[in-house]
Structure 1
Amino acid sequence: MPTAAPTTQVLIVGSGPTGLTLACDLARRSVDVRIIEKSTGFPRSSRAKGPNPRSLEVLDDLGVVDRVLAAGSAPLPMRKYRNGLPIADADPFETSRPTPDTPHDRPWLIAQWRLEEILRDRLAEYGVHVELGAEATGLTTDRDSVTVGLADGRSIGARYAVGCDGAHSPVRKLLGIPFEGKTNEEQVMVCGDVEVDGLDRGYWHQWFDEDGAVMLCPIPGTRSGWWFQAGPERDRAGAPVPPSLESFRWLFAKHTGLPGTRLTQATLLSTYRVNERMVDRYRVGRVLLAGDAAHVHSVAGGLGMNTGIQDAFNLGWKLARVVTGQADPGLLDTYEEERLPVASWTLGITSERLRVTLDAIRQPGGGLDAAVTGETTGLGLGYRWSSLSPAGSTTRLRAGDRAPDAPCRNAGTGLPTRLFEAFAGPHFTLLGFGPGTADALRATEAAYGDAVQAYGVDAGGPADLADDAGHARTAYGIEPGTDTLVLVRPDNHVGLIAPAADSQAVGAYMDHLSGTAFRRL
């Protein structure tokens, strides 16, 4: 396939949550981006049940979290049955509360197709629309561009391409990147969207017995829609029976003791096998991978879609800096450096949570709440090992950690605000704790303009953030009387922590990002 002249800066293949998150992030940075989808219509997939707290923070930064919260619902308590009878209710988030540094304390239930609609609407606000019926079948690269060939004979040239095209990723296969791991043929579920009469929509119902299970969770935003998951019916040879309304009714009647006719309109049918696979690299020249194209794992803990969203948020600002000439292409190597270990960790934690959950449901009163831990929130993941995380720490944070939120007051207007409001957008954010940081804040604003937005925290300036209750200093581990600079990356991770006296630290970090050679600071 001959190469085509680039018609866009970035081409994204695949319009699921990962691809849409990346497209929104690039578009708001004024990057010319196209996003293609092989389907001729937008899929109405309900596979993922919603964003976890860290992904909600990403969606907050992208300006859509209010829409997501309005379209979904908080996680429901789980009602567990044995021999058809309810024996226990569990709410794994019953004691969770938002804190000053963590505004989202729990995941959010929303159908994947509805989340995708919200992200598509946001993308359209930037004038970008998903191009349907465009199936990637070929891939060629040269020194300056990449060309993606389509099944209809067309081709699209771009400076960079990103495969966000799922576990069966054509982009990954065209790159020849192995997808190492295993498939467990014994751990199988049949899934679909159904309508059910007579069940209380205030619960996620879970029937477990010695030879199977049925789980029904109401789909937010629908009057009678439910997510159906079950261990499959098997034929005489022991093979799973393909999902259908009839097999769903049979499973429902068998495990619940209720009439199977209460289930109607089974759609979006699929058979799920536990796959644990990942790539050994995220980038080959001008082509990168994100989301399920790079890693798949057990659904336990709900980290699949969320890991993809967070892949995209890590990649977006780096790719934007490269294509707009603000950074050397070597910056893209830090995407793999930071996210590949996260993928490996995710395979490990989901495998462990699956084992714990399977053990739990064998006991009366056990259920899917066993899969939930503090680790599945995504809030504890950071990049301390990264070459973008130079040495520097406070009593609570190190470079590479997630940058926490905190309620503050705008010293000029007197109005309440939050650190997350300061972070939101495509810029770096420099926080200067204490009056001794005033000179560094002014110098940074003068040197970098809109690329770095500087805020004093009780630094004595008219545009300061007033930390009246001390939440910001507490969240960042800044001791009283200490003057400290904290540079926050566009993906809301800490880039740099330095004493105010180190007046060259911020400039050195920003120059490092723009330089022609990458090395640890």
Structure 2
Amino acid sequence: MAPSVLIVGAGPAGLILAIILRQNGIAVRIIDKEPTYRPGSRGSGIQPRTLELYDILGVLPAIREVGEFVPPMARYEPGKIEPTSTARLGEWVDPTPDVPYSNALSLSQDEHEEILRTHLQTLSCSVELGSELRKFEHFSDRVVAHIFKTDSDGNEVEETTTFGWLVGTDGAHSVVRKQLGLSFLGETRTEQQIALGDIIVEEGVKLNLWHMWSVPPKLIALRSGGATSKKFMFAYTGRPEHIADKTITRDEFIQDFYAITGRHDVKFGPTSWLSNYRPNLRMVDKMRDGRVLIAGDAAHCHSPTGGQGLNSSVQDAANLGWKLALVQKGLAAPALLDSYGEERLRVIAQMLQLTTDLFHKTFASLHSADKSDDSGWKRGGDLAMLGVNYCGSSIIQEEPDAVAGSAYMEAEGGRVQAGYRAPDAPGLIHSGTPTTLFTIFNTASHTVLLFGGDLEAVGKFPQGAVRVVEVLPQGHSVGALAGSALVAEDREGHAYTGYKLQSDGFTVVMVRPDGVVGAVAHDTEGVERYFQKIFI
């Protein structure tokens, strides 16, 4: 079967999109212009909301096996071996049944991407390296892509192939975005250059801490690669202006490290990558033009503070994937794809403001005389992304009294509400086996949760695109529901409690394939009205 979707760029956004499309049975081709996979820890933070998506996708066990909770940050005075203070970037949050992943994980991005590629391979799809999209033509019914590949002899070969859809996840310098002529509004902070790289630290610092030395306006931080890894990512800002825009060498970094920290007891090994970073604070004003779409860094760039970049890219892919799959299957009109940019641009604008404000606080702390002021380094809260919502979307069926607030804002009173994340619920029993709602949710169908009552209208929707789950109250015997694929007893009561529902009422919660509540209804008419927004 010829691929119907071409994904350009094999970072987290492209890989997640490919996984979702393949789980939906869509033929995919994913290419990357680099001849080898990029090394480097880069974006290491995986936020709780992304962990929830990974649970639904089925990749979470592999991520949790190697990922670690973000360690504390140790701050030092120059020349001192013992830290002056040690504090967590964010307060520890105890997991709950409805929020089982309440704390971010840290995992080197190259290891993260390898896990995603391995999972994609189980779905019969692999990344094609050394394949560069240089131009394309898009029409009302197809996209013609011109892909240039380099063979084993170094010869360049042009391939012209037709696809149904093209998605650019090809980074901040996106060829797809540029050829579409999309605006990339914002600014580049040329005055705040940051030297980055991965370096082995042989001795002198603890492996299970992040370390920071600040001599305003200079700062050096070493970010731990894990409790057993000697690999650290360094971030160094405040280099002399005349060399600030040049990529630092290993020897230059080590020389400056000793000069700033006075810590000659720290011994370094080799580097695996080095880069120079200038904060770009930019976003597009639309994410779709006909059959061509963009996601991830191709659509938005921002400060790395707060760990939102990689996670926002993954959430782009989660939002787009199920919609593109339905359109490609002929179950939804192409207009459904307009809701992708409608929903994500509101979130990205808020995220850009959030990370920029945090960036300013972080740099202000470098010049603060108060060495105990950690406000610029505090994380957690909204940055966990559990409150990211799509309120006000044209395909979300909200209650009449709903008020759209911030794009980073949890549902009022903790109740289940259209536009917000669907909570988890462990302790469900299906066919005698324990399960959870996150295990039941999947990227290939809507999940209709029935809390009490019956729903004959379910059979009217496309087969395989809607999965009905009757959630019986604690203590109720499992009966049979006509047309239902699954019946589960809420044996531990977490579903009814977490969704703030009474056991004697009738409520239908429609959960989208990306784990977002599309609608909460109390009758058949409300269910039909929601799905009319989605299906043809």
Q: Which 4+ residue blocks in structure 1 deviate beyond 6 angstroms?
A: none
Matches of 2:334 and 2:431, distance apart in 1: 40
For structure 1, the 5+ residue unaligned runs are: 1-5, 516-521
Aligned residue for 1:416?
434
Kindly indicate whether the alpha-carbon contact (under 8 Å) linking 2:40 and 2:272 is maintained by their aligned counterparts in 1: no
Matches of 2:499 and 2:227, distance apart in 1: 38
In structure 1, which of residues 128, 133, 136 is the aligned counterpart of residue 133 of structure 2?
A: 136
Aligned residue for 1:405?
424
Aligned residue for 2:224?
218
Q: What letter corresponds to residue 200 of structure 1 in structure 2? A: K
Q: Deviation digits for residues 297-326 of structure 1, max 9, x if unmatched?
A: 001101011000000000000000001111
DSSP-derived class of the 2:508 partner? strand
DSSP-derived class of the 1:102 partner? coil
Q: How far is 1:178 from its partner?
A: 1.4
DSSP-derived class of the 1:70 partner? helix
* Number of positions where the alignment pairs a residue of Structure 1 with one of Structure 2: 502
In structure 2, which of residues 467, 472, 490 is the aligned counterpart of residue 453 of structure 1?
A: 467
Q: What letter corresponds to residue 113 of structure 1 in structure 2? A: D
Kindly indicate whether the alpha-carbon contact (under 8 Å) linking 1:234 and 1:241 is maintained by their aligned counterparts in 2: no
DSSP-derived class of the 1:106 partner? coil
Matches of 1:8 and 1:212, distance apart in 2: 50
- The 5 A counterparts of 1:90-169 are 90-151=87-148, 152-169=157-174
Aligned residue for 1:509?
530
Kindly indicate whether the alpha-carbon contact (under 8 Å) linking 2:421 and 2:517 is maintained by their aligned counterparts in 1: yes
- The 5 A counterparts of 1:98-497 are 98-151=95-148, 152-198=157-203, 199-220=205-226, 223-234=229-240, 237=242, 239-259=244-264, 262-361=267-366, 362=368, 363-367=370-374, 370-392=377-399, 396-410=415-429, 412-413=431-432, 415-434=433-452, 437=453, 439-440=454-455, 443-445=457-459, 447-458=461-472, 461-462=478-479, 464-497=487-520
Kindly indicate whether the alpha-carbon contact (under 8 Å) linking 2:358 and 2:376 is maintained by their aligned counterparts in 1: no
Kindly indicate whether the alpha-carbon contact (under 8 Å) linking 1:15 and 1:35 is maintained by their aligned counterparts in 2: yes
Matches of 2:93 and 2:236, distance apart in 1: 29
The CA RMSD measured in Å over matched residues stands at 2.1
Q: Deviation digits for residues 59-83 of structure 1, max 9, x if unmatched?
A: 1111111101112211111111123
Kindly indicate whether the alpha-carbon contact (under 8 Å) linking 2:147 and 2:158 is maintained by their aligned counterparts in 1: yes
Q: Percent sequence identity over matched residues?
A: 37
Matches of 2:195 and 2:340, distance apart in 1: 35
State TM-score, norm by structure 1. 0.92
The 3 A distance-change label for structure 1 pair 366 and 207 is farther
The 3 A distance-change label for structure 1 pair 93 and 352 is closer
Q: Deviation digits for residues 76-101 of structure 1, max 9, x if unmatched?
A: 11111123431111124453111111
- After TM superposition, the structure 1 stretch with the greater mean CA deviation from structure 2, 215-224 or 165-174, is 215-224
DSSP-derived class of the 2:141 partner? coil
Q: What letter corresponds to residue 213 of structure 1 in structure 2? A: L
DSSP-derived class of the 2:254 partner? helix
Matches of 1:19 and 1:221, distance apart in 2: 29
In structure 2, which of residues 65, 72, 75 is the aligned counterpart of residue 70 of structure 1?
A: 65
Kindly indicate whether the alpha-carbon contact (under 8 Å) linking 1:164 and 1:289 is maintained by their aligned counterparts in 2: yes
Q: How far is 1:405 from its partner?
A: 0.7
Matches of 2:243 and 2:28, distance apart in 1: 48
Matches of 2:36 and 2:77, distance apart in 1: 41
Q: What letter corresponds to residue 207 of structure 2 in structure 1? A: R
